Chain A
Amino acid sequence: MTLEWMAWTPITASFFIFIGLVLMGMTVWQIVSPTVESKGFLPMPTTRGDRLFIGLLGSCYILLAWIGLTELSLWIALALCFLFLGLTLRFG
């Protein structure tokens, strides 16, 4: 079986490996210390998984808004995304 039809590139492959590793990490973290629903700056109480989902989804919108509205380097947007993801996971 060849994966040529999926048209992989090194960049998209590393993106999906990153997501996969994060999911595996979160699973291990959940087994070691199960999450407790808590209320942070987000309007509703969230679990760790909820916050990861919101962080990742929010990052997509930050990148899309960056591409749609500015001509600046995407690296800045990527840094913003990691900042947003970290803040959401910690204080969300």
Chain B
Amino acid sequence: MSKWEDNKAWFLVLPVFLVVAFSAIIPLMTVVNYSVQDILGPGDRVFVGDEWYRDVLTDFRLHEALWRQIVYSFCVLAIEVPLGIGVALTLPKKGWGVSACLVLLALPLLIPWNVVGTIWVVFSRPDIGLTGVTLNNLFGIPYNFTANPVHSWLTVLIMDVWHWTPLVILLCYAGLRAIPEAYYQAAKIDGASRFAVFRYIQLPKMRGVLLIAVLLRFMDSFMIYTEPFVLTGGGPGNSTTFLSQYLTKMAVGQFDLGPAAAFSLVYFLIILLFSYIFYTVISSFDKGEA
């Protein structure tokens, strides 16, 4: 039975399985248990069935936060992915410029999230911040991200673009560097235009890294918490209160563990659905191309 010979390799997966069990599956099971009960205290709980799910699914503030979140993630992807590809295409291919550009681009990725928020608070404040003061006094635009929802939205969005586009650039750059020179030479012989080279060589060859970039940026932007929490605190009003901020308010602020658990599961299922669709669509493109 030669079929069984290779199966010992599965034992190598065992440590990962244990880590995932303790870090993800067991906590997730606990969340499922919490979501059907009213947790009054340690050892003191009442079974409530689907009540929390009914509450969460008919909560209009949750619907608002969800729409805000979807629009936000869509904007993040629509800006960061094309911008990342564009910048990656213009980066130098050899010489000292490569290291210089890569180090400079990687800098925002090294900054902790709460510090990013703080930097942008200081940077954007209308009274002392560089952007705030410049926009207000030099260009006469009444910019104030703490009072105007549109301004606060734009600030959160630009902050994310500044923080995370470098990740997309680095991934795309790695994808571009992996294309063998022979493809470009063949394109040159055929007299292909710059756009044709991009459309038929570079873009298809970047699919793998773009899949990772889109998935990472989608999941991260959909779960964004720290930066808007520091920058706007969810305001003005509720205009930048995204799903995770609303969830934290419920679970930690009000200690409503049952409803927060139900909310977490709905949130998890939404992320799972979007990620699965992205993954399936992009990987089926890949198969079609191959």
Question: Which A residues form the contact surface with B (CB < 8 A)?
Answer: 4-9, 11-12, 15-16, 44, 57, 60-61, 64, 67-68, 74
Q: Interface residue count for B (Cβ, 8 Å)?
A: 25
Could you tell me which residues of chain B, from 266 to 290, have a CB within 8 Å of some CB in chain A? 266, 269, 272-273, 276, 280, 284
* Complex Cα gap A5–B41 (Å): 10
Given contacts A57-B272, A57-B273, A68-B57, contact A6 B43 (CB under 8 A): no
Question: What residues on B are CB-neighbors of A57 within 8 Å?
Answer: 269, 272-273, 276
Q: How many A-B residue pairs have CB under 8 A?
A: 50
Question: What residues on A are CB-neighbors of B36 within 8 Å?
Answer: 9, 11-12
* Complex Cα gap A8–B269 (Å): 21
Given contacts A44-B280, A68-B57, contact A15 B269 (CB under 8 A): no
B interface SS class: helix
B53 touches A7 (CB 8 A): no
Least CB separation from B53: chain A residue: A67
Question: What residues on A are CB-neighbors of B43 within 8 Å?
Answer: 4
A interface SS class: helix
* Complex Cα gap A12–B50 (Å): 12
* Complex Cα gap A11–B32 (Å): 11
A61 touches B273 (CB 8 A): yes
Q: How far is the CB of B1 from chain A (nearest CB, A)?
A: 12
B30 touches A7 (CB 8 A): yes
The yes or no answer to B39 lying at the interface (CB within 8 A) is: yes
